[in-house]
Structure 1
């Protein structure tokens, strides 16, 4: 009997979960050395397939470009691996000899991995490695528009793991993704935790599933350029970051907020890096194609400036790398102020850092709370003020926010899942790693004795309160008689204690 796509995909999820449960139970008995060998093999497989997977992703989704997609795959396979390879995730992972507390790692079990269409193959490499590093199994739910490349990346990771000695059945990917299949995966009793990277609706669904979930909020990233900034370096970093994979990483810059005293210098520096500033008519046409019915137009996401210009019906110079439009307002009625996930930037002018901070906060409030903010400045007091006050989990200083946020050019943990904390209704503000996919148990030795409780002597206040309470009952006794009775009772209670 032929099943329809929904029924088939739901049954596939159930089958995968049963196999993953069995395989994960076997993996749980592996030593740290065995686990590390498996993850090393997966890293190598991801590195070797980086370009091929990149080409598949671009061909299937139409988002981004092959060289940058390849770099994203390599970031996951190499940089993330280097960051996690020496982390202890098996047995006793830490001993605090002074306080006599041992920390013991135990896997969470089965991870549901939600995969976005903008970064499909790199996400699979990344999530597969951190899941197995913590001795978990993982089942991927791909975006329908990236199903083939996501499936291939999962297959490569699974085969590499098995060749290195992992049990069969640790890594799976839904072959015919449907909404029903994803719901089954995130709500099933065998699923233990959810790693959700995707649109706002998908992240909300993960948090509403009744399962522990790590979700990622939107990243409407503002970048403030202070008058003390190295303008040439700032322009170089911003354009390199914003144009990487045509802006598909959620930590990429979305709007620039610039001190008026250096506005001309900043514009000139950006133009030297390949930025094209739209005139009012051109800005209107580009703004008109950014949003459709209040939502981001998929036809601009991850597209080149040339493709966006053609869609908008404007002509741009050869070699243009990013489109920039000046803006004065913030809100959904002003498309250059929203998260665009494409090589388009809004450009705001402010009088000083205080006005700049206010404008950045407005942009974050619009749709990027808790994610990432950038600042280019040499004045440490201003940097400190932004770091203390802005509701962003990552403040990238004098670097591109795309690379700074994911930990490529900063000391933040390398990751492709960036938590937004309570600012963005997320459970953590961390860059996610294998430590988030572990249960950590504490073996705690007694190091001090608990002192015994001491009897509380009757006080004048206690006697007065009791006297007042009993007197109000009108029991036919004088206050002195009642007082003598209370003293006698309290003395007897104290003696027995």
Structure 2
């Protein structure tokens, strides 16, 4: 029966390709490091040769970005990534530490399910294929529906090269029919060992909920700070180079400029000279309406990867033909859902925040990242090493580009970071790692460790054991106590007395069934009686004052009612407690007063923290809630909506929150 339903076709492809990839990977797992490297080199060479063809195909199919920059991205994936992984050991024995007697071996995960976005389709396909194969895995690509042709074309180029280098058939597969159901089927396949998820928030969350290990990414809302000591001309050039690269399709592109007041005017002059158009308040409002889809806070895909002049036309405003970036001035407090231009914009639109000083710049940068880019990327332009250090430590971003474009710095093009198109955002961004993802994340490490310290076997007789008995060293105080001549009985330490007891017990002739005339050995009770007599003779018997002395913990504990039990030589019946004077009945406790704070701003991390503490978050009409925080908070009923303004405390008589 021929399948006609797209979902069914996609599901069937996912099943078949996962099985084919798993079979090919079993063969590939027998390859040596040299053979694996030959396959990777062949794929990279073929991708480099087809870089321009694939770039044109991507722009034609998706409408995002521009050909020159996509060529550069394809070459980055084929050349820079290859140079970074060349020479990396990923097969067989990785490390041998003879001193520690530990040997480490690589163990590939098997099949990698790679979700490929439409914004960077062919470059991401090249990059993910190379790092997956380098780690000894097979790969199945699931393209974004709007970029299927160019992604499968890139996969086909590399598949042919891999086969020519001796790779088994099925090592690289690309789904030609992709639907949400098909992608979910691929992620849940038993053959899949790990997921590389690059795409929207919903898709990344689906990858994390698949039950498989997954490397996802988070949104970027990159602030670029210009500190007063910066080379302003270069800073502006770097920022615009990053923001306009492929028309802003890379998620680590700059979204806002935060500039100190002392260098505001020079920065504005440079921005105008280098192609920025400053929007009037009315024009900024029109452009702001384009950022999100009507009636929602979902990013508008129609503005993604479009040139500034096209965006201006969409907003109904006129700008010079040479305009590279649309720039909107915002005040430092204008961060959040009510200000769409403060959000991530995968297009050449920038927000501009003038601030009085450097601490204020850090504060705005932190708020921008928490609003929509926690854990991703930030940048700073400064010649002051101390200010750079302060900024790097303060901002919640795991890549901080210094005096370079945030785009080129974060992916490792203009810095020594690992070259990557998948940038982890760590726990703040809901990711498992904050690394730039590479082959090292796509194989497990098996550790073989030899014994370096013998284990005592108590079933073996003492004289045959390889380990000596454990000896406890005396403390200086104990040695000093023993050195005193004839110390008075009252000053005898417990440890010295215990040693005397042990010495006397050890001095008793050992009686065994063999030596005893009656054939009966001393039992544990007999030994206990001897110890009891010796302790009593020393004045520290169990019934002596020493045994009655309370411990510090007992002294500080509240008194309890005496137990009604029979007395014994080891216990004394305590005297009944004296009668307590009667008191008038206490008044019932007043109802507790709980102070409620209306949150002015709520991020996803705030919601997760409240969930772990089983708390509620009180929000008002003016509370700024990030989109991901609102979805998560409503799903888990974390929010308590009030009619109060943020920052105005109130009280109530119960503590249900």
User: Is the structural similarity TM-score above 0.5?
Assistant: yes
Task: Spell out, residue by residue over 1:110-141, the C-alpha distance to the aligned partner (whole angstroms, 9 max, x if none).
Answer: 11100001001001100000000011011111
Residues 404-415 of structure 1 mapped to structure 2, 5 A cutoff: 404-415=409-420
> Could you tell me how far apart the structure 2 residues matched to 1:227 and 1:241 are?
21
> Could you tell me how far apart the structure 2 residues matched to 1:345 and 1:237 are?
14
Task: Spell out, residue by residue over 1:73-116, the C-alpha distance to the aligned partner (whole angstroms, 9 max, x if none).
Answer: 00000000000011000111112233222211010011110000
Q: Indicate conservation of the 8 Å contact 2:108/2:136, yes or no.
A: yes
Specify which of 372, 377, 402 is matched with residue 407 of structure 2: 402
CA shift for structure 1 position 323? 1.1
Residues 16-415 of structure 1 mapped to structure 2, 5 A cutoff: 16-292=17-293, 293-328=296-331, 329-415=334-420
Q: Indicate conservation of the 8 Å contact 2:366/2:394, yes or no.
A: no
> Could you tell me how far apart the structure 1 residues matched to 2:325 and 2:100 are?
55
SS of equivalent residue, structure 1 residue 404: helix
Corresponding residue number in structure 1 for 2:519: none
> Could you tell me how far apart the structure 1 residues matched to 2:25 and 2:220 are?
34
Corresponding residue number in structure 2 for 1:486: none
Aligned CA RMSD, in angstroms, stands at 2.3
> Could you tell me how far apart the structure 2 residues matched to 1:92 and 1:406 are?
29
CA shift for structure 1 position 464? 6.8
Corresponding residue number in structure 1 for 2:566: 476
Corresponding residue number in structure 1 for 2:626: none
Corresponding residue number in structure 2 for 1:420: 425
Q: TM-score, normalized by length of structure 2?
A: 0.71
> Could you tell me how far apart the structure 2 residues matched to 1:463 and 1:61 are?
84
Corresponding residue number in structure 1 for 2:452: 447
> Could you tell me how far apart the structure 2 residues matched to 1:250 and 1:157 are?
26
> Could you tell me how far apart the structure 2 residues matched to 1:461 and 1:398 are?
72
> Could you tell me how far apart the structure 2 residues matched to 1:119 and 1:461 are?
78
> Could you tell me how far apart the structure 2 residues matched to 1:185 and 1:453 are?
57
**Is the alpha carbon distance of 1:12 and 1:462 closer, same or farther for their aligned partners in structure 2, counting shifts above 3 Å?**
farther
> Could you tell me how far apart the structure 1 residues matched to 2:408 and 2:367 are?
23
SS of equivalent residue, structure 2 residue 11: helix
SS of equivalent residue, structure 1 residue 192: strand
CA shift for structure 1 position 318? 2.0
> Could you tell me how far apart the structure 1 residues matched to 2:547 and 2:386 are?
54
Runs of 5+ unmatched residues, structure 2: 457-468, 473-494, 499-541, 556-560, 573-657
SS of equivalent residue, structure 1 residue 315: coil
> Could you tell me how far apart the structure 2 residues matched to 1:295 and 1:13 are?
29
> Could you tell me how far apart the structure 2 residues matched to 1:100 and 1:354 are?
51
SS of equivalent residue, structure 1 residue 148: helix
CA shift for structure 1 position 308? 0.5
> Could you tell me how far apart the structure 2 residues matched to 1:187 and 1:251 are?
29
> Could you tell me how far apart the structure 2 residues matched to 1:129 and 1:53 are?
16
Give the length in aligned residue pairs: 481
Q: Indicate conservation of the 8 Å contact 2:225/2:380, yes or no.
A: yes
> Could you tell me how far apart the structure 2 residues matched to 1:202 and 1:372 are?
21
Corresponding residue number in structure 2 for 1:487: none
**Is the alpha carbon distance of 1:72 and 1:472 closer, same or farther for their aligned partners in structure 2, counting shifts above 3 Å?**
same
Runs of 5+ unmatched residues, structure 1: 484-497
**Is the alpha carbon distance of 1:446 and 1:6 closer, same or farther for their aligned partners in structure 2, counting shifts above 3 Å?**
same
CA shift for structure 1 position 482? 4.5
> Could you tell me how far apart the structure 1 residues matched to 2:172 and 2:135 are?
13
Which structure has the larger Rg over C-alpha atoms?
Answer: 2
**Is the alpha carbon distance of 1:248 and 1:128 closer, same or farther for their aligned partners in structure 2, counting shifts above 3 Å?**
same
Corresponding residue number in structure 1 for 2:2: 2
Q: TM-score, normalized by length of structure 1?
A: 0.93
CA shift for structure 1 position 8? 1.1
User: Which structure is higher in RCO with an 8 Å CA cutoff and minimum separation 6?
Assistant: 1
> Could you tell me how far apart the structure 1 residues matched to 2:243 and 2:307 are?
11
Specify which of 427, 431, 436 is matched with residue 436 of structure 2: 431
SS of equivalent residue, structure 1 residue 90: coil
Instruction: Determine which structure has the larger helix proportion and give its number.
Output: 1
Q: Indicate conservation of the 8 Å contact 2:258/2:353, yes or no.
A: yes
SS of equivalent residue, structure 2 residue 104: strand
> Could you tell me how far apart the structure 1 residues matched to 2:547 and 2:357 are?
60
